[in-house]
A and B are shown apart, each in its own frame.
Chain A
Amino acid sequence: MRKLLLLLWLALPVCAFSQGFQVNLEGEKQIGMGHTGTGLLTDGASVFFNPGAVAMLPENYVQAGISPLVFQSVFNPSGSNVQYHTLNKIAPPFTFYGVWGPKSSWWKFGFGVYTPFGGLTDWGDNWQGKYVLESLNLKAIYFQPTLSIKLADFVSIGGGFVYNRGSVDLTQAIPLANQAGQDGQAELKGTGHGYGWNAGIYFKTESGVTVGITHRSGVSTTINNGNAIFTVPTALQSYFPQPNTFKSTIPLPAVNSVGIGFYPSPKWTLALDMNITSWNVYKTLEFDYKYTTPDLQNTVSPRNYNDAFTFRAGAQYKSSPRTAWRFGGGFATTAVGDSYVTPEAPDANRVYFTGGFGYLISKHLDLDASFEFEHLLSRTSTNIQYQLSGTYESNIYIPGVSLSYHW
């Protein structure tokens, strides 16, 4: 009669696409210029940056790039001098774009495959927040066919359809020790998909300044039948039925952008971009399990994100017809309130600096390299749900390279 109510052992689970997961690595030329490009005609990456500008591109493009990304975070718990570091793991955001249309036609067709959200965070299984998160690997790959139409010599529009294939693999320690004193573990692993669209408009003004405005819609991504794998002591297995599946929907936010390009001399291009990411759609994170028990309940975690703003600026200098030097930077506000910071991508206001180099290898082939350094400002917070309290700081290092063939 010693009634045993085994309740809420799991602080299940965290998994958020936060601003930290907005990757912003969608073209090496643009990365070099501070990831601007909404108001520029640069290359096939306009499929992402401004589908409205695609019809204005002077050539057809096939291009691919990769930006291996190292996200290094540190956590210093409140009241302690210990520093926990994430393991060095390299996430590989990539891009592929194709743009084609008849020479000097009023239309162009584009296709893009890119990774606008993703993250790879591994704190290991021996850190202070292991019951909140051990590791998280998530990816969103967008496939986007696009049609762009030139309405006049000075204005073009375009729109695309987005199919997202998202995947998540999250591990978390469960505070149920076995006879050896080792924790249990939860792993949630699955793939899902979602749909969205985007549209843009591009102007060439009489003064020579170019302007772009785009809207990329939210993409609500649902994972059905993800695997929910629980490793717990034998005597408790019935409380965590196996095999089990979960369902969760993650609303990837809409992004509105406006960008401007200036051309003070034939050698110089200057660009400014501003993005508003509608993170406020992200109110809660919910996980529904196929089989629940008193100890394995569906969960609702508050997120209450705010819209986030990014300000970007960049420049390109052509030192010769074949070579271009690029630099830029920006500032992004955090989407996450102080009480909602979680270790999966400990978000904070961030600054970043970029540099890049472009070289025309042959008449039709560009080689572009870029490097981006992002610094997430030190942020001290106590998570309202997990009471994990401490200071986070992160650096992100992103080299990148791409090849573009154009004709």
Chain B
Amino acid sequence: MKFLKKHIYIIAGLFLLAACKPEVKTAQLTHGSANFSRFIAVGNSLTAGYADGGLYLDGQLNSYPSIMAGQMQSVGGGSFNQPLFTSAQANGSGYLQLTGFNADGTPITTPVTTDLAIRGILPVPGFGNVTLYTKYTGDIENYGVPGIKLLNITYAPYGNLNGYFERLLPNDAPTNTTDYLDFVTAKPFTFFSDWLGNNDALLYATSGGAGDVLTDETTFAQLYSLSISKLTATGAKGVVATIPDVTSIPYFNTVTVNAIVAGVQKLNPAVQGIYINALVSGTTYAPRLATAKDLIVLTFPTSMIGQLVSTPYGELPYGLTPYSPIDNQYVLDANEIALTQEHVLSFNSTITSIAASKGLAVFDAYTFLNNIKQNGLVIDGLNLNSNYISGGLFSLDGVHLTPRGYAIVANEFIKAINSKYGSNIPLANVANYRGVKFP
């Protein structure tokens, strides 16, 4: 057609135009007054990427420091090495997997026991058995060690008592003598994140106040000051985080006193409540009826309730009489909660005041997670909350996070860094990280 011949160039030009995609003008990326060329992460299980009751490769790959480091790449971040398990031993320490639901909707979890990285068990006299893992010998930027307390960071033999730390050290237990603080600061670094201190309160709480002790508040302040002085000694900048309220995690909010009582009353309406062995004061415990203010741990086997156990008063149903109360290890009672919360508040005021004095950025995890517990969190069309499994944030152990939870934490760290140092590290895309895996 004549028309087409005449105007073919115009038409071709119009189609070329159509190939231009719109672009949004974004701010020039900058590292601000910070230098991310060697970023190290100091902390415990949360920092290591622990999830679902274990440390395994998939969790490590989704640790919040590695997500942060990935985002720092665009503002001068260097390489970020993690002590990863090999793919042949990808399941590391082993972990819990969700394998189904019971008819009543309760989840069934099963431990993963293949492809582990367990090297052996070392009995340590006066301490107990230490599980040893396959050694990691490469470079390390993520120094997260599951189980470590702030209390442990200057204790030289600690490398023989914690298998996750031992695997990073050159020597085999029991011959290690390097303490954690010296180990992480041995090589020069320019930026650090520090989220230590959780276990100084959490391990007491998760053991129902029975299997561990709270770190003394003054000792905590001294060690925190010491560690921050050492981390900032060579001019490195950094970000620290406060310690979450231990009662904000699903580990304590999933199995509730009211739910247990309701379950028992279905079978026996005469039952008034369940008995626990509760803290009176100091180290004195006495049995009493549980109330909604007492928290039951996620791992409590509820089937124990009502089973006959032998007591000085004869065979009595477990948990249903003052002579056969629920064991202390399964309950964080109201007084233990108060004690834990008092310590956490003290730890946090130490953390924020020392961070302020050193000019460090602070991610207030305490406020952030309490806020999620109260109000939930909606982000990019995701409805998240602190509920076990369905909340999307917490992994199957009810304490540690899912990759999605870790991505959200990484973004909160990044926001704190950006606002303190005038950088604009881009936020990670939370939608790229999964929640709990379902069968």
Interface residues of A, Cβ cutoff 8 Å to B: 1-9, 11, 70, 72-83, 85, 126-132, 173, 175-179, 181, 183, 232-236, 357, 359, 367, 369, 371, 373, 375, 378, 385-388, 391-395, 397, 399
Q: Within B65-98, which residues are at the interface with A (CB < 8 Å)?
A: 74, 98
Which B residues are in CB contact (< 8 Å) with A175?
Answer: 382, 392, 404, 435
Which A residues are in CB contact (< 8 Å) with B263?
Answer: 1
Is the beta-carbon distance between A2 and B74 smaller than 8 angstroms? no
Question: Of B117-125, B166-174, B209-217, B425-433, which binds chain A?
Answer: B425-433
Shortest CB distance A85–B (Å) = 6
Shortest CB distance B40–A (Å) = 24
Is the beta-carbon distance between A74 and B427 smaller than 8 angstroms? no
**Given contacts A79-B426, A179-B438, could you give 5 more A-B pairs where the C-beta distance is less than 8 Å?**
A3-B105, A70-B18, A74-B21, A74-B23, A235-B101
Shortest CB distance B419–A (Å) = 11
Which B residues are in CB contact (< 8 Å) with A397?
Answer: 14, 17-18
Determine if B265 is an interface residue (Cβ-Cβ < 8 Å). no
Is the beta-carbon distance between B381 and A393 smaller than 8 angstroms? no
- The residue of chain A having its C-beta at the shortest distance from the C-beta of B13 within the complex is A371
Chain B 24-45, CB-CB to A under 8 Å as 1, else 0, gives 1111010000000000000000
Q: What CA separation (Å) do A392 and B100 show in the bound complex?
A: 41
Question: Of B239-247, B253-261, B321-329, B352-360, which binds chain A?
Answer: B253-261
Is the beta-carbon distance between B381 and A77 smaller than 8 angstroms? no
- The residue of chain B having its C-beta at the shortest distance from the C-beta of A11 within the complex is B381
Determine chain A's interface SS by DSSP, over half rule. Answer: loop
Determine if B5 is an interface residue (Cβ-Cβ < 8 Å). no
Which A residues are in CB contact (< 8 Å) with B302?
Answer: 1
Which B residues are in CB contact (< 8 Å) with A3?
Answer: 105-106, 254, 259
Interface residues of B, Cβ cutoff 8 Å to A: 3, 7, 11, 14-15, 17-18, 20-27, 29, 74, 98, 100-101, 105-107, 254-255, 259-260, 263, 298, 302, 378-383, 387-390, 392, 404, 411, 415, 418, 424, 426-427, 429-432, 434-439
A131 in contact with B380 given A83-B24, A175-B392, A177-B438 (CB within 8 Å): yes
Is the beta-carbon distance between B74 and A81 smaller than 8 angstroms? yes
Instruction: Kindly identify which residue among B21, B25, B381 contacts A132, using a CB–CB cutoff of 8 Å.
Output: B381
Which B residues are in CB contact (< 8 Å) with A369?
Answer: 3, 7, 11
A9 in contact with B390 given A1-B302, A2-B106 (CB within 8 Å): yes
Q: What CA separation (Å) do A5 and B22 show in the bound complex?
A: 43
Q: What CA separation (Å) do A357 and B105 show in the bound complex?
A: 66
Shortest CB distance A343–B (Å) = 9
Q: What CA separation (Å) do A50 and B107 show in the bound complex?
A: 63
Is the beta-carbon distance between A8 and B383 smaller than 8 angstroms? yes
Is the beta-carbon distance between B24 and A4 smaller than 8 angstroms? no
- The residue of chain A having its C-beta at the shortest distance from the C-beta of B15 within the complex is A399
List 22 A-B pairs, Cβ < 8 Å: A1-B255, A1-B263, A3-B259, A72-B21, A72-B22, A77-B429, A80-B26, A80-B427, A81-B26, A127-B431, A128-B429, A129-B381, A131-B380, A132-B381, A236-B438, A369-B7, A378-B24, A385-B378, A388-B380, A393-B22, A394-B22, A399-B14
Which A residues are in CB contact (< 8 Å) with B298?
Answer: 2
A235 in contact with B439 given A73-B22, A128-B429 (CB within 8 Å): yes
A5 in contact with B24 given A81-B29, A235-B101, A388-B380 (CB within 8 Å): no
Shortest CB distance A78–B (Å) = 8
Q: What CA separation (Å) do A11 and B25 show in the bound complex?
A: 29
Is the beta-carbon distance between B427 and A130 smaller than 8 angstroms? no
Q: What CA separation (Å) do A7 and B388 show in the bound complex?
A: 11
Instruction: Kindly identify which residue among A1, A9, A183, A385 contacts B260, using a CB–CB cutoff of 8 Å.
Output: A1
- The residue of chain A having its C-beta at the shortest distance from the C-beta of B298 within the complex is A2
Which A residues are in CB contact (< 8 Å) with B380?
Answer: 77, 128-129, 131-132, 386-388
Q: What CA separation (Å) do A70 and B17 show in the bound complex?
A: 11
Q: What CA separation (Å) do A268 and B23 show in the bound complex?
A: 38
Is the beta-carbon distance between B101 and A1 smaller than 8 angstroms? no
Which B residues are in CB contact (< 8 Å) with A395?
Answer: 20-22
Q: What CA separation (Å) do A8 and B380 show in the bound complex?
A: 14
Is the beta-carbon distance between A5 and B255 smaller than 8 angstroms? no
Is the beta-carbon distance between A2 and B22 smaller than 8 angstroms? no
Q: What CA separation (Å) do A77 and B379 show in the bound complex?
A: 12
Q: What CA separation (Å) do A397 and B19 show in the bound complex?
A: 9
Is the beta-carbon distance between B388 and A2 smaller than 8 angstroms? yes
Q: What CA separation (Å) do A181 and B439 show in the bound complex?
A: 10
Shortest CB distance B412–A (Å) = 11
Shortest CB distance A232–B (Å) = 8
- The residue of chain B having its C-beta at the shortest distance from the C-beta of A133 within the complex is B381
Shortest CB distance B275–A (Å) = 17
Is the beta-carbon distance between B415 and A357 smaller than 8 angstroms? no
- The residue of chain B having its C-beta at the shortest distance from the C-beta of A68 within the complex is B18
Is the beta-carbon distance between A177 and B436 smaller than 8 angstroms? yes
Q: What CA separation (Å) do A233 and B27 show in the bound complex?
A: 40
Q: What CA separation (Å) do A358 and B147 show in the bound complex?
A: 78
Q: What CA separation (Å) do A189 and B151 show in the bound complex?
A: 59
Which A residues are in CB contact (< 8 Å) with B23?
Answer: 74, 83, 393
Is the beta-carbon distance between A74 and B260 smaller than 8 angstroms? no
A1 in contact with B431 given A11-B383, A388-B381, A399-B11 (CB within 8 Å): no
Which A residues are in CB contact (< 8 Å) with B18?
Answer: 70, 397, 399
Is the beta-carbon distance between B254 and A81 smaller than 8 angstroms? no
Q: What CA separation (Å) do A174 and B107 show in the bound complex?
A: 20
Shortest beta-carbon contacts, A-B, top 6: A131-B381, A233-B438, A132-B381, A76-B24, A397-B18, A177-B434
Shortest CB distance A30–B (Å) = 18
Q: What CA separation (Å) do A5 and B383 show in the bound complex?
A: 14
Which B residues are in CB contact (< 8 Å) with A388?
Answer: 380-381
Which B residues are in CB contact (< 8 Å) with A373?
Answer: 17
Q: What CA separation (Å) do A80 and B439 show in the bound complex?
A: 33
Shortest CB distance B28–A (Å) = 9
A9 in contact with B387 given A4-B107, A74-B21 (CB within 8 Å): no
Which A residues are in CB contact (< 8 Å) with B429?
Answer: 77, 80, 82, 128
Instruction: Kindly identify which residue among B21, B387, B426, B431 contacts A81, using a CB–CB cutoff of 8 Å.
Output: B426
Is the beta-carbon distance between A1 and B106 smaller than 8 angstroms? yes
Q: What CA separation (Å) do A181 and B58 show in the bound complex?
A: 11
- The residue of chain A having its C-beta at the shortest distance from the C-beta of B75 within the complex is A81
Which B residues are in CB contact (< 8 Å) with A8?
Answer: 383
- The residue of chain B having its C-beta at the shortest distance from the C-beta of A14 within the complex is B381
Which A residues are in CB contact (< 8 Å) with B27?
Answer: 81
Which A residues are in CB contact (< 8 Å) with B378?
Answer: 11, 385-387
Shortest CB distance B389–A (Å) = 6
Which A residues are in CB contact (< 8 Å) with B427?
Answer: 77-80
- The residue of chain B having its C-beta at the shortest distance from the C-beta of A234 within the complex is B439
A80 in contact with B426 given A4-B101, A11-B381, A74-B24 (CB within 8 Å): yes
Is the beta-carbon distance between A181 and B437 smaller than 8 angstroms? yes
Shortest CB distance A324–B (Å) = 12
Candidate in B27, B255, B430, B437 with the most chain A CB atoms within 10 angstroms: B437
- The residue of chain B having its C-beta at the shortest distance from the C-beta of A132 within the complex is B381
Is the beta-carbon distance between A2 and B438 smaller than 8 angstroms? no
Q: What CA separation (Å) do A179 and B100 show in the bound complex?
A: 12
Q: What CA separation (Å) do A226 and B31 show in the bound complex?
A: 51
Q: What CA separation (Å) do A320 and B432 show in the bound complex?
A: 60
Q: What CA separation (Å) do A80 and B432 show in the bound complex?
A: 14
